[in-house]
Amino acid sequence: MRILFFGDVVGKSGRQATQKYLKRLKDEMSADVVVVNGENSAGGLGINRKSIEEILDAGANVITTGNHAFHWKEWKEVFDNYPMVLFPANYPGLLERSYYTIDGLTVMNLQGRVFMDCIDNPFSAVDKLLEIIPRDTLKLVDFHAEATSEKLAMGYYLDGRVDAVVGTHTHIQTADERCLPNGTLYITDVGMTGPYDDSILGMQKDAVISKFLNNRPVRYEVAEGRSIVSAVLINLDKDNRSIKRLSVIE
Ligand SMILES: [Fe+2]
Ligand SMILES: [Fe+2]
């Protein structure tokens, strides 16, 4: 089983880059399942029916989310109608909507708490989740979190209990992909799929700089220009388990 995982898709540019590159990379890499984090896919923050439809149409099988999933009211419509769109398990009441099984792979979604909203404990949530997911499937976790320490701790906590733990949320790809001692494949952050030039994490740089200079609220707009596609290819074949970073700038 080979899994292609795209990091946080940001806005229209991110969706267009996903449409342009997903099928191409899937074919080139002979991927069986494609997972995309879509938490920023609608206007740079959140999800809606249109952004989800476009990512699915591009070839994604499962869409994970994170802290921005609830930005638009329309998230509830997505929640009710798209079972392959996941929400972090440790939001109160969302455990049952945090996993999806396709072709023998169960994808799970969790969220961190360090420098983020203080939701339920992701470590105890994943223990509960592992009890309710289908038995005898391969297991991939998207841990949507800010702090590298919390992500690495989750990787080691799940080492040997799931097949792969990939981090999302920071929009910057890390170079620490590895196989942990008990066989779990791990990367701290997959990175972003979205605007790269003159952009800070996908948003126009001037607004972000202004926020740091003046400390007053600003309106963030999705940047324009070339996009970056940040992804990983996870190979779970018995003799050839590996995780490989992919990064394409248009
Ligand atoms: Fe994000
Ligand atoms: Fe996030």
How many Cα atoms are found within 13 Å in the side-chain-facing hemisphere of 231?
A: 30
Cβ atoms of 64 and 74 within 8 Å: the answer is: no
Instruction: For residues 37-44, give the mean pLDDT.
Output: 97
pLDDT tens digits for range 76-113:
999 999 999 999 999 999 999 999 999 999 999 999 99
Encode 84-102: b = buried (16+ Cβ within 10 Å), e = exposed: bbbbbbbbeebbebbbbbe
Q: Report CA torsion sign: 126, 131, 134, 137.
A: positive
- Residues tagged active-site: 68
Give the range of the structural domain holding residue 242, as residue numbers without chain letter.
2-249
> In the predicted model, what is the mean pLDDT of residues 195-200?
96
- pLDDT, tens digit, 9 for 90 and up, residues 220-248: 999 998 999 999 999 999 889 999 999 99
Dig out the tokens for 43 from the structure: 């206007």
The CATH number that applies at residue 180 is: 3.60.21.10
The DSSP code sequence of 77-101 is HHHHH-TTB---TTSTT-GGGSEEE
Question: How far apart are the CA of 46 and the centre of ligand 2, in A?
Answer: 9
Closest ligand to Cα 8 = 1
Into how many domains does the chain fold? 1
Ligand 1 centroid vs 50 CA: distance in angstroms? 18
Q: Is residue 250 pLDDT above 90, yes or no? A: no
Q: Which ligand is nearest to the CA of 111?
A: 2
